[in-house]
Amino acid sequence: MSEAVQVHSLLSDFDVQLFRAGRHYKLYEKFGSQEIRVHGVQGVYFAVWAPNAQQVSVIGNFNGWNPHAHQLHVRWDSSGIWEGFIPKLKNGEVYKYHIHTNQGERLEKADPFALHAEIPPSTASVVATTYYEWTDSEWQFNRREHNALDRPYSVYEMHLGSWMRDPKQPDRLLSYTEIAERLIPYIQETGFTHVEFMPVMEHPYYPSWGYQITGYFAASSRYGSPQELMGLIDALHQSNIGVILDWVPSHFPGDAHGLHRFDGTHLYEHEDPRKGFHPDWQSYIFNYGRNEVKSFLISNAFFWLERYHIDGLRVDAVASMLYLDYSRKAGEWIPNEFGGNENLEAVSFLKEMNEAIYKYFPHRQTIAEESTSWSGVSRATFDNGLGFGMKWMMGWMHDTLAYFQEDPINRSYHHDKMTFAGVYAFTENFMLPLSHDEVVYGKQSLIYKMPGDEWQKFANLRALYLYMFTFSGAKLLFMGGEFGQTSEWNVNQSLDWHLLKFKPHAGLKKFISDLNAVYKGYPALYEKAFSPEGLNWIEMGDRANSVFVYSRKGHDEDNDLLIILNLTPVVRRNFRIGAPHAGSWELLLNSDEQKYQGSGIAVKKKVQAESTYWMNQKQSILLDIPPLGGLILKRTR
C-alpha cells in the first residue's frame, strides 16, 4: 500500500476564484490526477469538486479499493474541492473516487477530469499524461490557410470504430495507429480537406455512437492511448488534413460512475427534471447557470484544442440547448424570467465559449449542429449572435434529399425544393451536411434514396454531389457516401469496402476525388462561400426540363465557373444556356463521363459564347446536357 495522502495543492486562490466565477478555462491543468514531484518524491496529485461530500477518498488496486486508506483533504475556502498528494503512485494506476455524501450515500465515481479510462465495460479512471512530442508545427504555422472561412472546407465525417475493420477479425476495433495507416492515404486519394470524428471521448455504451459521454477529457481507450490518438491527429496534419471533433456539451448519461448526481446532488445537471432531464435521449442536461459547470465545459473545449491540436469542434444538439421546451409538451418545461422558451443560461454559455475559443485559438472553427431558425447562430456575439464559425444547413439537406428521392417525372412539381435554400443561404455561414443521421434508422443509404434502376441511382447521386460541392457553403459527407455504401450505417461493423470491386461504386469514388480536386482548385467555389456575391442564379425556374443553371464567383472574375444541372434522364440537345461572360467556356467536370460509369454522352470540351440574350444574360452558349448529370465550366480567354 502506498503512503498516506499528503496536504498539497496545485490550485492558487486565483484559480479557485476563476473556477467559481465560471472563468477558469484550463481546469485540466489543476484538476483530475496529475503525476508530479513533491519534495523530491514522485507521486500523483488528485483534485475533485464534490461540495456535498462528507468525505472523498481515492480508491484503486493500489489500496485494495479501501475507502478509508487514502482520504483527500477538503479546501478551507468552501469551494467544495477535495485534493491531496499520494506519494509513489504512477501513470497507469487505476482509480475512482469514493464519495461519502452528506445524505449518507456512498458513491464510486470515475474522475470527471481523467485523461484515460479503462476499456469498457470496465469504468475506472486511469492516471495518464497527455505528453506527446508533436511534429505538426508547419500545419500550426499555416493553420489559417487550412481553416479560414474563405478556404476550401470539405469534411469527411466518420465513426472510428465502424469505418474500417480487419476482415480477418471483424469484431475487433482498429487502434488509432492502425486507423492512421489506412485513413491518411484514403483521404489523400479522395481529396477531402478535413476529417470529422464522431465523439472520441470515453463513453460506456458503444451504440450511443459516442454521444453519451462519461469521460469528457479521456480519449476512448477502445482504440488505444491518448498518445496514439495524438499520433493519428499529428499524422493527419503532416498530410495537410484538418481534424474536427464532435463535442457534446448538451447532455450526459446517467451511468452510476459518471457525472449524474456526482456528489449525491445534481451537481452538473439541473435538479428540476423539467430543466435537467432530456426526454429524447434519457440523459441529463448541464446546468449552464452554474459557474463551476461553465468552467468545466469551456475547459473541456480548450483541452481538445490545446492538448490534441484539433482544428475545430462540431457542437452537437445545439437546438436542444437553446430551447427550454425542446421535445417537451406544455407543462413539462419552465419558462425563462421573461416568460419565453429561450434558455438564456445556455445562450450566455455558448456566447462565452465561442468568444473564448476564437480569442485564444484563432484560425479554429466551431460548428453548430442547430436545426431551427434561431437567428445569428454563426454571427458575432457583438452583433447579438451566438458566435459560431459555421452552422449545419439542415434545411438544405432535407429539401435536397426530398427532391432527389422523387422520381424525375415528378420533379417539376418539387422544383422549389432545390431553389428555396437560396432564399436563406447567406443568413448564416452554412455547412452543407449529408451526415450520419440520414443513413440510419430505416432512412436508407444515400444510394438507395435515389430513384430508378442502378444506373439512374448512381447518376442521381453524382449529380447530387456536384450540386452540393458547387453550391454556397462548406461541405460534409458521411463515410461510405463517397463510394455508394448500399446498406444503412451499422456502428457494429465495417463499411462494405468490397463494393469497390464493382465499377459503379469505384466510378462514384473516382468522381468524388475529381470533384474534391475541382473544389479545392478553383477559388470561385470557396472564396465567397458565405456571401451572396459568390452565387448567381441564372436559371432557377425551368420546371418543365428540371434544369438549373448558376455561376460561382470568387475575388477574380476570370475564375468564374458556370454550373449546369439536368435532373431528368432525358438528354437536352443543343440546349441554350445564359452565360455571365463573353468568350470561351471550357468543360471542367462532367458527372456523366464513362470513367464515372456515366452514359458518356458527348459534350463539347469548349464552347464560344454568343451575343444572344438568354436567361437574363447578354451572352449564351449552346451545348448538349447529359441525362441526370451536371457540368462545371470554367471561363477561358
Q: Which residues are tagged catalytic?
A: 316, 369
10 Å CB burial of residue 458 (0-12, 13-18, 19+) is: buried
Residue 269 · residue 285 · CB < 8 Å? yes
Long-range Cβ contacts of 317-320 (<8 Å, 24+ apart): 317/248, 317/250, 317/251, 317/369, 318/250, 318/350, 318/368, 318/369, 318/370, 318/377, 319/370, 319/371, 319/372, 319/374, 320/250, 320/251, 320/278, 320/280, 320/285
CA distance 548 to 539: 6
Q: Which residue has the cell 474536427?
A: 244
CA distance 472 to 219: 34
C-alpha cell at 405: 428521392
Vertex 348 angle, CA 345 and 353, to 5°: 125
CA distance 321 to 278: 10
CA distance 150 to 473: 10
Nearest to 395 by CA among 343, 355, 431: 431
Query: 103 to each of 54, 261, 268, how far by Cα in Å?
Result: 9, 12, 18
Q: Determine the residue type at 501.
A: K
Residue 130 · residue 226 · CB < 8 Å? yes
Nearest to 589 by CA among 502, 480, 467: 467
CA Rg value for the chain: 27
How many other CB atoms are found less than 10 A from the CB of residue 281? 18
CA distance 133 to 597: 46
C-alpha cell at 58: 481515492
Nearest to 552 by CA among 429, 460, 635: 635
Query: 303 to each of 131, 224, 548, how far by Cα in Å?
Result: 13, 19, 45
C-alpha cell at 39: 519534495
